């Protein structure tokens, strides 16, 4: 069992008299900045001169400045801009302004693990990676609930990197739920593996293929949507609450028998081999190199894949059906 830290293991006083610079004001950035401010910390938000987020951050009562200035003023610099822009912003605006003994922090290990960002030896490098989308995390904080996080120390020059990192985790509310200690390597590789094989890639490919199979066999796409996509949430909620066992207890015995007898035929050893291959691509850096090159080359293939995905029949059918269910708060 890895170390898990809670409120009593973290000391907010460590941040006393220190300035926390939050670079970026997106999903994670707005949440970290506001939670720290609500916990009495001195926060500055670093954004580029033309950022549309500047006004939002100011209206929320936060001090806003250029990334260069925020880096110079801060004892802790948390990098919360998209992973693919981190190398450029780091090189141009953060690194030249980093004071010795600063704690440079990330919410995901990608840039450090794959060496897209290489910090100098005279700063601490650490991570607090909350396990929830930023907007949800902010809502929960306001309700007095924390979300769990992973933490890791990559470089400890000052000798108190862990104390500072745990204090930060407490400041954004995560020690309230529990903070698991890990490494940049494990966080990065398991995060990428999970989103590719299950959470994003696996789940959408599974739903899409099942939907296509029913439609190809002549069933109404509306039915296919309900059976293969809509009901997914109900099943996942049960799994989330009580594991596979509770979900199986809750569905019919017919569904349960189909699960045991047919599930492994669909997700078979070919899929296991494919998963092992995606893991190897993550471990040997193939995926990271491919994604960084895609960004360097202007994201043409990425944007094309996005467009093709958006044109799939399941998106149109879904939009129509969700409109009939306003109680579920549909997003277009």
| β 149-155/63-65 pair status | unpaired
The site partner of 83 among Mg ion, ligand NAD, none (C-beta below 5 to 8 Å per kind) is: ligand NAD
φ/ψ bin of 310: left (φ > 0), alpha (ψ from -120 to 50), beta (otherwise)? alpha
Q: How far is the CB of 220 from Mg ion (least distance, A)?
A: 35
Q: How far is the CB of 149 from ligand NAD (least distance, A)?
A: 9
Q: What are phi and psi of 60, to 5 degrees?
A: -80, 5
Q: Does 169 engage in binding with ligand NAD (CB under 6 A)? A: no
Q: How far is the CB of 322 from ligand NAD (least distance, A)?
A: 23
Q: Pick the stretch among 33-41, 81-89, 138-146, 164-172 that binds ligand NAD (CB under 6 A).
A: 81-89
Cα gap 21→64, rounded to integer Å: 10
The single residue listed with the structure tokens 């607090």 is 128
Cα gap 310→317, rounded to integer Å: 12
Q: Which of residues 186-245 bind Mg ion (CB under 5 A)?
A: 191
Q: Which residues contact 117 (CB under 8 A, 6 or more apart)?
A: 79, 86, 87, 90, 111
φ/ψ bin of 317: left (φ > 0), alpha (ψ from -120 to 50), beta (otherwise)? alpha
Q: Pick the stretch among 174-182, 185-193, 252-260, 298-306 that binds Mg ion (CB under 5 A).
A: 185-193
The yes-or-no answer on residue 108 being catalytic is yes
Cα gap 33→29, rounded to integer Å: 6
Task: Pick one of 4, 12, 65, 85: the residue that binds ligand NAD (CB under 6 A).
Answer: 85
Q: Does 107 engage in binding with ligand NAD (CB under 6 A)? A: yes
- 32, 108, 230, 270: the catalytic one is 108
Q: Which of residues 15-54 bind ligand NAD (CB under 6 A)?
A: 24-29, 47-48, 51, 53
Binding positions for ligand NAD, rule: CB under 6 A: 24-29, 47-48, 51, 53, 80-83, 85, 89, 107-108, 129-130, 133-134
* Residue positions annotated with a catalytic role: 108
């Amino acid at each position: 069992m890895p170390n898990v830290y809670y409120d009593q293991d973290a000391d907010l006083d460590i941040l006393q008299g220190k300035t926390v610079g939050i670079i970026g004001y997106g999903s994670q950035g707005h949440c970290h900045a506001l939670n720290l401010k609500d916990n009495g910390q001195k926060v500055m938000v670093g954004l580029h001169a033309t950022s549309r987020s500047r006004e939002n951050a100011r209206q929320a009562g936060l001090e806003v400045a250029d990334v260069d200035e925020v880096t110079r003023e801060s004892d802790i610099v948390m990098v919360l801009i998209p992973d693919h822009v981190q190398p450029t912003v780091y090189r141009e605006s953060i690194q030249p302004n980093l004071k010795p003994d600063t704690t440079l922090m990330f919410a995901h290990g990608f840039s450090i693990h794959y060496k897209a960002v290489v910090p100098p030896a005279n700063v601490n490098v650490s991570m607090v990676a909350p396990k929830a989308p930023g907007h949800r995390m902010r809502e929960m904080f306001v309700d007095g609930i924390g979300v769990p996080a992973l933490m890791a120390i990559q470089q400890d020059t000052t000798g108190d990197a862990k104390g500072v990192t745990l204090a930060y985790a407490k400041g954004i509310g995560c020690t309230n739920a529990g903070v698991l200690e890990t490494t940049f390597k494990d966080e990065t590789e398991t995060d990428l593996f999970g989103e590719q094989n299950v959470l994003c890639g696996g789940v959408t490919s599974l739903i899409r293929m099942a939907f296509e199979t029913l439609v190809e066999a002549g069933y109404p796409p509306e039915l296919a949507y309900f059976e293969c996509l809509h009901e997914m949430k109900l099943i996942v909620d049960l799994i989330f609450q009580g594991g596979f066992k509770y979900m199986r207890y809750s569905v019919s015995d017919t569904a349960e028998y189909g699960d045991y007898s047919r599930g492994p035929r669909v997700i078979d050893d070919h899929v296991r081999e494919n998963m092992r291959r995606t893991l190897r691509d993550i471990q040997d850096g193939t995926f990271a190199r491919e994604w960084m090159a895609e960004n360097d080359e202007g994201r043409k293939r990425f944007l094309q894949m996005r467009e093709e995905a958006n044109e799939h029949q399941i998106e149109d059918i879904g939009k129509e059906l969700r409109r009939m269910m306003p109680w579920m708060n549909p997003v277009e």
